[in-house]
Each structure stands twice: as structure tokens, then as C-alpha cells.
Amino acid sequence: MLSLLTLLRAPAIFLWLLLLCFSYAPLYAQGQMPSKVSKLKKYFGPSGNPYKVRVIPVPLINYSPETRWGFGLGTQVLFRTPSTDSTGNLSTTGFAFIFTLNKQFIVNPNWDIFWKKDRYRLTGAVLWQRYPDSFFGLGNETKEQDQERFSSDYVLVRNRFTKQFAPHFQLGAQYRFEYMYGMKTEENGLFDTNDIPGEGGYTASGLGLAIIYDTRDHNLFPFKGWYMIFSHHQYSRYFGGNTDLTSVRLDVRKYFNPGKGSHIVALQGVAQANSAMPPFKMMATFGGSELMRGYFFGRNRDQHMYALTGEYRFPLFWKFIGVAFASMGNTMGPYSSAGFNNLKFAGGGGLRFTIDAKERINIRFDAGFGQDGSRGFYLAIGEAF
């Protein structure tokens, strides 16, 4: 999903959300296409190809003092492969592009593809960004007033291939590559006055294993079930990088459907640990549009991290769904106080607009709020988890 397009300004998001809602409403009303449609729309509609494609554009516009005006387009394509039956998981591919008047850019294609009746899965992304960022220091006691602006060029490539080896279980291999260069910082700022790992740039290349357990009834908007991912990467100079460490991450999710009605309770727990201190951009952190919404991504960084989130999803009217969520988490390691000191809390709410009820495809708008005035507004396709 468009998880990188975060911290956009609320008025612009709300405007685009309304435009998208009313532009898609006639197309998907009652789950039917209009009677008079072009051959292309007929092919992609319910009366044509059973593996119908949904192409969902998300225009983006934002403003901040650091970037001035920014413009972009995010697109999500949802489909089923011919070797997956009509009840199988939806595959997705997406692309996001943003540019600003300060000549900052984000380019981000991504994919999550299922085939052979969901027995095989390929998921990954490519990211290149030249974009302003903020650094607050390391650990869980950083201060808002210490915020330092910096910029760098950053490349990320990640890919994971898994195969089902038992009912609900998948096992596979994965690769991740990170390259940060062209670092520019403020004079006499945190980077100048502290020894920050990776501040001069770094290259990380890691191979690893992934184990997935999945009993959800749907991969985009589950009503019930478990979803667990154990992810491991071994970064080594032998793989072409200059970083040596082992990184593991566990993501556990549970979905309840009380009374088998239309109300859903979703819970998530995430933990990450590293065998050594990584470069600062690879450190365990949270924030952004998915984990601990309301915090700037990277607000707290250290060797280890955990976060817990609870979310309540409930119907409002027509195609609108309401959401309320709350989170708590912390970083741990050499730069942080004890793991249960200075806990971070966040909460907020949002709206979902359903553009395809049968396939459970929603456009998501969330407003999250953390401590010390932290806040974020997010527009994406699909849920945070």
C-alpha cells in the first residue's frame, strides 16, 4: 500500500477523499457496472473477465514549510491471477510518485502477487527518494525541540518469495538492499555534535528467511483469523554491503468479528531486534501510516522496538466505515532508558470508503495523535494492518 505517502496535510487529504468517494460511487453502486460501457470497461467488469482488474488512482497534494507545494499520484491495481480461484486472495501492484517545488522526489513501485490458489506469493518494492527528513536523536527520550532537518538520497529494494508447505503455513526466502548516500545536515546540529551510526552513508545487503501463518478470511479487510509473520535478514559484507548484523521482526495480528456482525476488532503486536547497532536509518523505529500512527516515522530509534495496536472498525452509513485506534510502544537498547520507561502512546480515528464491497476494497483516511504534539494524517488504499 501507499505507506510512504505520510504526513500529508489534512485539508488536502479530505478534499481528495471526497472527490474519490463521489467519483467511484456510481461505478460500483450495487456492485454492477453501467449497462452501456466501453469494451475495455466490459472486459474488466463483472460481466467480462472473472479475474477483473481494479485500477485505483489516488491524486496527492500537500504543503509544508520544508517542501513548499508537493504534487503526486499514487495508483493501486488489484486483480487475481488466472491460476487463483475467485475466492483466493487479491493480488496488488502499485506505484507512487511525488515531487515538490524544492526538487524532492519519491518513486515507489510495489507488488504483492498470489498464484496457484494462493500457494505461492511474491511481495516486494523498490524505492528511490530524495526527500527532507527529520532526526530527533537516538533512544526513547528525544526532545521535540532537538529536531534537525537533513536530506539524503536513499535506495531500497526488497523482495520475498514464499510457498505453502502445510495448511495456513508458508515458508520462503527474502532479500533486502539499502543504500544511503549524499547526506546533508545542519551545521552544529545533532549529526555534527554526535557520533551517529551510518551518518556518512551506508550499504546493507541481506538474505533471510520468512515464515507466515495465515488463517484470515480475506487479505485486504479481514473479519476474523490470525496473521503472523516471522522475518529474518542476515546482513553481511559477503553479500555486497558494508553492514554486518542479524535482524529479526515478528508481526502478529488477530481479527475478531463479535456476534458475526459488521463490527470488527483488530489487534496487532510488532517486535524487532538487531544483533548489533545498525545505521540510524535501519534502526528499529515506528510511526508513519501503519505502526503507531500519529508519530513522525523515526521519531524514536534504537537497536530494538515493540509496539501494540488495537483498532475498532464499525459501519456508519452508505459505504462509509468508521475506525478508532490506540497504540503503545517503545524503543530499547544502548540509547534508550528501560523498555517500559517513557512508554509512547498514540490514538486517533478515521474513515473508510468502500469502493468494492465484494472484494472489500477501501480507501483509508486516518488522523493519528501522539504525545508532545505529534500528529499525522494519512491517505492510502487498504488498512494499516
Spell out where the chain has E strands: 54-64, 68-79, 91-100, 105-115, 120-135, 148-166, 169-184, 202-214, 225-235, 245-256, 264-274, 304-317, 320-332, 344-356, 361-369, 375-381
Closest by CA to 157, choosing from 109, 97, 104, 211, is 109
DSSP state string for 137-164: -SBS---GGG-EEEEEEEEEEEEEEEEE
pLDDT at position 339: 67
**Whole-prediction pTM:** 0.81
Average per-residue pLDDT for the chain: 83
Tens-digit pLDDT profile for residues 36-83: 333 333 333 343 445 578 888 877 666 555 555 678 888 889 888 887
Q: Poorest-confidence range of 86-90, 144-148, 172-176, 351-355?
A: 86-90
What mean pLDDT is predicted for residues 362-376? 88
Asked whether the beta carbons of 321 and 237 are under 8 A apart, the reply is no
Task: Please determine, for residue 171, whether its predicted confidence score (pLDDT) is greater than 80.
Answer: yes
Sorted by where each starts, the structural domains of the chain and their CATH numbers stand as 10-381 (2.40.160.50)
pLDDT at position 10: 38
Mapping DSSP to helix (H, G, I), strand (E, B) and coil, where does residue 10 land?
Answer: helix
Task: Please determine, for residue 172, whether its predicted confidence score (pLDDT) is greater than 80.
Answer: yes
pLDDT at position 62: 60
- Higher-confidence residue: 289 or 24? 289
What mean pLDDT is predicted for residues 7-20? 40
User: Which residue stretches of the chain are H helix?
Assistant: 10-28, 39-44, 190-193
Task: Please determine, for residue 351, whether its predicted confidence score (pLDDT) is greater than 50.
Answer: yes
Q: Give burial (CB, 10 Å; 0-12/13-18/19+) of 50.
A: exposed
